[in-house]
């Protein structure tokens, strides 16, 4: 097949490179004889080079040196061989990445289980092959490709380069590519998939992960992230064609020459901002709002887009944190680029807000799909809202404004709010009182996005959705969490409440008085050893004998257990979980006799075990809960949370790293 974009030979791209697909042995000096005698373990799911048996590390190494065209990652492998670091080589070469809650995500660098030129090319080949089999019109619909601002000098990897290579693979098979010409927020890719009617979308990002990481996020034609069976089938398709198709797959300049490549930036940015206006409910108040806002983009993509969003809402532009306004892949001013970590990473934002007499701080993570919010307290200090608290405010706000425009109670029968199962049950409390629908999904916004699509097909509308890890979606303009739109919505809500002489925190307590106080705790421990994680969860599943889960936590009886990994739910007559079984990670939920709900789960993007607890109290008489009652709830929840961590996870015995706050 002759590509309209002109597939080129390896010699044309790089006359000195190995011929793609040729049998090229690694230099003998780089292959000690002893390497082939060591058994190599199979990667997760049995993917890629791996499996038990002698010589497989040699085979994986030879494949890498045969296929990889990136000078920097080749040098990394050669250096590891020369220095005899075979365990590191096994880790890098003898397993492959698998799709987690946010697609493929791993450190950048050489190796089949890292993010680099070769693995991105392989992943894209698998995606294109799967799309070609699944969608007859992929060659007319095309694929959207976007990227953030990450880069790593030592591996020669950057999000922009990886996006261009992603596009090059597609163009080499005559698949049109809508490649953004500059960095964009992650939600722009799924928004563009739907707006352009594309077959799929790819976003190169690792969101809020450490600077060493990058990722490959895949969206289906409905704009939502892929879920089973697509993720497993794409992985299988990747494994079927690991060898790069042609030298053109390595030619990032192809995107500048090929007529099948278009740049959707201007159109998508304009359409997105126009649609964003539908979430603005009180523009007349916004223009006269005396509140000042500070915004940090955490060295990522968010600055220019949040500024535009404020303009759409008629709000004065937020004051940017100068040290964090411009993209920088090294994230030099924060110890980690995750605003979810709270006050410890918001220091520069809070200091600027103090100097500027700004009451609200907004922080988007590096790819601008998450949002953290802090408010100046009336006394002193700052209130940094948790994801659950901010969801209570945004959920209330979205329904309040929806009801203003839909006074007929019957209309509530077609609206929904969604949340992941590890998030607060506050939206459920809203739904019980107000009469709309509420549903839970598995953790990860991909489940929310796909459920939104299913509901829309039956004439229903999702007006708000969230996950506790500061991921929010107001309205339904994009089936993905969106820090840009959420920042503008929070600002307008704060302006409206200020006009009513209320702060965000005061309104949060008003919500609790009406719908019941919800106290929650969310944290994590770090575990870099997968076998330790397996041991921890195996112990929990056999805590009181084989096949017997724990019977109490913190001295409180456990009345129900739900294990989504195995599909078990003791609260159901058939003992089967309503939520889909998910064997890609561990997740066990305990319901206690005192009403506390506690969950342990492994992260789909980082080496963490997360734990969540929540106490949901019904409103007292006349809907009021006194301060002593709240303190009692918090004390009881703290006891259960400590037991969940210390008795079930055993951090010291298992060498777990506790969260640094």
Instruction: Give the integer Cα–Cα distance in Å for 659 and 661.
Output: 6
Q: Exposed/middle/buried for 25, CB within 10 Å: 0-12, 13-18, 19+?
A: exposed
HEC per residue, 162-222: HHHHHHHHHHHCCCCEEECCCCCCCCHHHHHHHHHCCCEEEEECCCCCCCCEEEEEEECCC
Please name the residue ranges forming H helices in 204-294: 230-240, 254-257, 265-276, 283-286
- Using alpha carbons, select from 371, 440, 369, 436 the residue that is nearest to residue 406: 436
- Neighbouring residues of 438: CB distance < 8 A, sequence distance ≥ 6: 416, 417, 418, 419, 427, 428, 430, 431
Instruction: Give the integer Cα–Cα distance in Å for 112 and 119.
Output: 6
Which region holds residue 136: left if phi is over 0, alpha if psi is between -120 and 50, else beta? alpha
- Using alpha carbons, select from 318, 256, 242, 332 the residue that is nearest to residue 6: 256
Packing angle of the helix pair 71-82, 56-67 (nearest 10 deg):
150
Lookup: tokens for 133: 């089999």
Report, in this order, helix, strand and coil percent for the chain, each rounded to 5: 40, 20, 40
Lookup: tokens for 221: 């034609």
Instruction: Give the integer Cα–Cα distance in Å for 207 and 570.
Output: 36
Instruction: Give the integer Cα–Cα distance in Å for 540 and 396.
Output: 37
Q: Peptide bond before 229: cis, by omega within 30 degrees of 0? A: yes
Catalytic residue among 207, 423, 520, 603: 207
H or E element at residue 93: helix 86-93
Instruction: Give the integer Cα–Cα distance in Å for 222 and 479.
Output: 8
- Using alpha carbons, select from 44, 272, 331 the residue that is nearest to residue 144: 272
Residue 70's CB is within 10 A of a number of other CB atoms, namely: 19
154-184 core/surface letters (b: 16 or more CB in 10 A; e: else): ebbbbbbbbbbbbbbbbbbbbbbbbbbeebb
Instruction: Give the integer Cα–Cα distance in Å for 390 and 472.
Output: 9
Please name the residue ranges forming H helices in 406-556: 426-434, 445-456, 483-499, 504-515, 530-541
Distances in Å between the Cα of 156 and the Cα atoms of 70, 96, 150, 256, 502 are 7, 20, 11, 20, 51
Q: Quick check: is 248 catalytic?
A: no
Instruction: Give the integer Cα–Cα distance in Å for 240 and 420.
Output: 34
Residue for token pair 């008489």 = 621
DSSP letter string over 394-416?
Answer: HHHHHHHHHHHH---GGGGGGEE
Point out the residues that are catalytic: 207
């Amino acid at each position: 097949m002759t590509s309209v974009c002109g597939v080129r030979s390896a010699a044309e791209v790089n006359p000195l490179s190995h011929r793609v697909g040729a049998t090229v042995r690694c230099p003998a000096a780089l292959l000690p004889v002893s390497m082939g005698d060591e058994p190599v373990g199979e990667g997760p799911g049995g993917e890629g080079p791996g499996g038990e048996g002698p010589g497989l590390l040699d085979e994986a190494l030879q494949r890498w040196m045969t296929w990889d065209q990136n000078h920097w990652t080749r040098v990394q492998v050669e250096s590891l061989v020369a220095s005899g670091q075979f365990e590191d080589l096994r880790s890098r070469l003898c397993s492959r990445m698998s799709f987690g809650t946010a697609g493929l995500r791993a450190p950048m660098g050489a190796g089949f289980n890292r993010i680099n030129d070769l693995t991105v090319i392989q992943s894209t080949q698998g995606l294109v092959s799967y799309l070609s089999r699944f969608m007859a019109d992929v060659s007319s619909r095309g694929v959207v490709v976007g990227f953030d601002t990450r880069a790593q000098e030592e591996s020669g990897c950057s999000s922009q380069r990886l996006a261009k290579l992603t596009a090059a693979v597609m163009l080499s098979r005559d698949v049109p590519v809508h490649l953004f010409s500059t960095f964009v927020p992650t939600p722009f890719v799924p928004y563009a998939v739907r707006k352009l009617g594309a077959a799929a979308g790819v976003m190169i990002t690792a969101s809020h992960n450490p600077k060493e990481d990058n990722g490959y996020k895949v969206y289906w034609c409905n704009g939502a992230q892929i879920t089973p069976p697509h993720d497993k089938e794409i992985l299988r398709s990747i494994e079927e064609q690991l060898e790069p198709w042609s030298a053109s797959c390595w030619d990032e300049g192809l995107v500048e020459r090929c007529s099948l490549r278009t740049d959707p930036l201007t159109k998508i940015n304009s359409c997105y901002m126009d649609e964003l206006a539908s979430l603005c409910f009180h523009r007349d108040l916004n223009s006269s709002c005396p509140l000042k806002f500070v915004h940090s983009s955490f060295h990522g993509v968010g600055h220019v887009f949040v500024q535009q969003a404020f303009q759409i809402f008629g709000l004065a532009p937020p004051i940017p944190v100068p040290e964090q306004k411009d993209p920088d892949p090294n994230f030099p001013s924060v110890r980690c680029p995750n605003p979810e970590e709270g006050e410890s990473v918001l220091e520069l934002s809070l200091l600027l807000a103090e100097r500027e007499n700004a009451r609200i701080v907004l922080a988007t993570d590096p790819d601008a799909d998450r949002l953290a919010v802090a408010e100046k307290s009336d006394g002193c200090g700052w209130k940094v809202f948790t994801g659950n608290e901010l969801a209570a405010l945004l959920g209330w706000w979205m329904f309040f404004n929806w009801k203003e425009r839909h006074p007929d109670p019957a209309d509530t029968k077609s609206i929904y709010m969604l949340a992941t199962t590890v998030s607060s049950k506050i939206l459920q409390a809203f739904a019980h009182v107000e009469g709309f629908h509420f549903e839970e999904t598995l953790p990860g916004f991909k489940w929310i996005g796909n459920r939104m699509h299913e509901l829309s097909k039956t004439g229903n509308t999702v007006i708000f959705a969230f996950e506790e890890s500061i991921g929010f979606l107001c309205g339904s303009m994009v089936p993905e969490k969106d820090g840009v739109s959420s920042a503008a919505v929070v600002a307008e809500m704060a302006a409206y409440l200020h006009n009513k002489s209320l702060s965000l925190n005061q309104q949060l307590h008003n919500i609790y008085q009406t719908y019941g106080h919800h106290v929650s705790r969310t944290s994590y421990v770090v575990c870099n050893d997968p076998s330790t994680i397996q041991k921890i969860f195996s112990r929990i599943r056999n805590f009181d004998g084989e096949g017997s889960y724990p019977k109490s936590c913190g001295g409180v009886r456990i009345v129900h257990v739900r294990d989504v990994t195995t599909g078990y739910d003791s609260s159901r007559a058939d003992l089967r979980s309503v939520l889909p079984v998910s064997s890609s990670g561990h997740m066990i939920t305990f319901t206690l006799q005192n009403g506390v709900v506690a969950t342990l789960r492994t992260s789909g993007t980082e080496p963490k075990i997360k734990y969540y607890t929540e106490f949901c109290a019904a409103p007292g008489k006349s809907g009021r809960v006194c301060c002593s009652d709240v303190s009692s709830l918090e004390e009881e929840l703290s006891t259960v949370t400590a037991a969940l961590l210390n008795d079930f996870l055993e951090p010291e015995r298992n060498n777990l790293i506790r969260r640094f706050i």
